[in-house]
Structure 1
Amino acid sequence: METMKIYLVTANKHKAFEINALAGDEWSIMPVASIAGDKIDIEENGATFLQNALIKVETFKGLRVPLIADDSGLEIDALGGFPGIKSARFMEGRPYTEKMEELLKRLDDEKNRKARFKCAAVYYHPTGVVLAAEGIVEGTIAKEIRGSQGFGYDPIFIPDGYEMTFGELGQDVKSSISHRARAFKRLFSLLRLFFSSTDTTVHR
């Protein structure tokens, strides 16, 4: 299959790097800002990660180009799933170090430290094709911030099967097991299936 250009709706450079690495040679992932010209400032008011991802692509559907977007977050069982869909907006404007310190403070002396990262990824084509996939990685919250790799809440999340946080494990491991990796691997698999089993000339 020839390389397809898809525009990614995000202003997060770390996220863009991860998704580009997952795309491989089949997909040419471009920032939507390269053709939109505007700052990406979207009101993510959906009730789920999937709804927020759909809101992102809907915002730019007027460009009439293939789009991908995702929404993701950290759910902590002892906090009732918080911060969840509010993960990025929690203590908005404050550095993630402070956000993590606040979450650890709320979990002080808490024995149940089960948590998970969730990601919903969406592909949109101006002909009306919409594909979606979800990725989840289960784990626990560390007792302290550990590691400086990755971004967001990575330094306090220990994925099941490991003793180190995402912040300590590094990008290679994270790219193979993370919620975003799982979601986009599934999404790209759906795209391959779609383009191999359908007369898709109109969708290119």
Structure 2
Amino acid sequence: MKLVFATNNLNKLKEVQGLIPENIKLLSLTDIGCFEDIPETKNSIEANAIQKATYIKDNYGYDCFTDDTGLEVDALHGEPGVFSARYAGEQRNANDNMDKLLDALKKQTNRNAQFKTVIALHFNNKLQTFTGICTGEIIKVKQGENGFGYDPIFKPNGFELTFAEMDLSVKNKIGHRGKAIQLLIEFLNT
């Protein structure tokens, strides 16, 4: 079975390749000749995931899946949410995003947050969505060198390490993307 994972984020691609069973050949956007920016103009994580998957299906004809992920912080009423990647500006710089978030939380005692991933799958002319959530808290200083995005400041509930301090195999088991991918895999195996 061949499926396109519609992302330009090489970190996400690597993370997901480690989760997908060997009987599924994962194709990248480069593999199908897609080099344009896929629109992400919706106002929710779910709607962006659906928009991206539909774009690939409509323009390239491949069965595909895509994800959209956001960090939702309680004290900021769910921000940065759908704007997580460009929270500090269109340059999409992870350090700038983390610095802005840490600054916004300086005076907050409630540091509860959750990562939310929604996967949209176009498969056999049907659209399905799968959601994974990982709850935790935003710590006060960056810790760890692994991962990407907000991983150095997010500590999942029940763990003493941030995502950036964890081995990728642990993060994949407990993390939002791993949970959503597991639901996708269960669906594809039925």
Mapped pair 1:146 → 2:143: yes
User: Where does the alignment leave 5 or more consecutive residues of structure 2 unmatched?
Assistant: none
Superposition map of 1:25-40 within 5 A: 25-35=22-32, 37-40=33-36
Considering only aligned residues, what root-mean-square deviation do their CA atoms show, in Å? 1.2
Q: 1:77 aligns with which of 74, 79, 82?
A: 74
Whole-angstrom CA distance in 2 between matches of 1:131 and 1:167: 30
CA shift, 1:94, in A, is 4.8
Task: Tell me which structure has the larger Cα radius of gyration.
Answer: 1
Per-residue CA distance 1:33-90 (angstroms, 9 max, x = gap): 212x232412211222111111111111132221010000100011111000000121
Q: 1:172 aligns with which of 165, 169, 174?
A: 169
Per-residue CA distance 1:101-146 (angstroms, 9 max, x = gap): 1110111131100000000012113x41222110000000001111
Whole-angstrom CA distance in 2 between matches of 1:40 and 1:161: 40
Aligned to 2:132: 135
User: Where does the alignment leave 5 or more consecutive residues of structure 1 unmatched?
Assistant: 194-204
Q: 2:187 aligns with which of 180, 186, 190?
A: 190
Superposition map of 1:43-54 within 5 A: 43-54=39-50
Runs of 4+ in 1 over 2 A off after TM superposition: none
- Equivalenced residues, count: 188
Aligned to 1:14: 11
Structure with the higher helix share, 1 or 2: 1
Residue identity opposite 1:149 in structure 2: N
CA shift, 1:156, in A, is 0.4
Whole-angstrom CA distance in 2 between matches of 1:152 and 1:158: 13
SS at match of 1:140: strand
Contact 1:11 1:40 in 2 (8 A): no
SS at match of 1:34: coil
Greater CA drift, 17-26 or 177-186? 17-26
Name the TM-score, length of structure 1 as normaliser.
0.88
Contact 1:10 1:40 in 2 (8 A): no
Residue identity opposite 1:161 in structure 2: G
Mapped pair 1:60 → 2:56: yes
Mapped pair 1:157 → 2:154: yes
Residue identity opposite 1:52 in structure 2: N
Whole-angstrom CA distance in 1 between matches of 2:23 and 2:158: 31
Greater CA drift, 18-27 or 71-80? 18-27
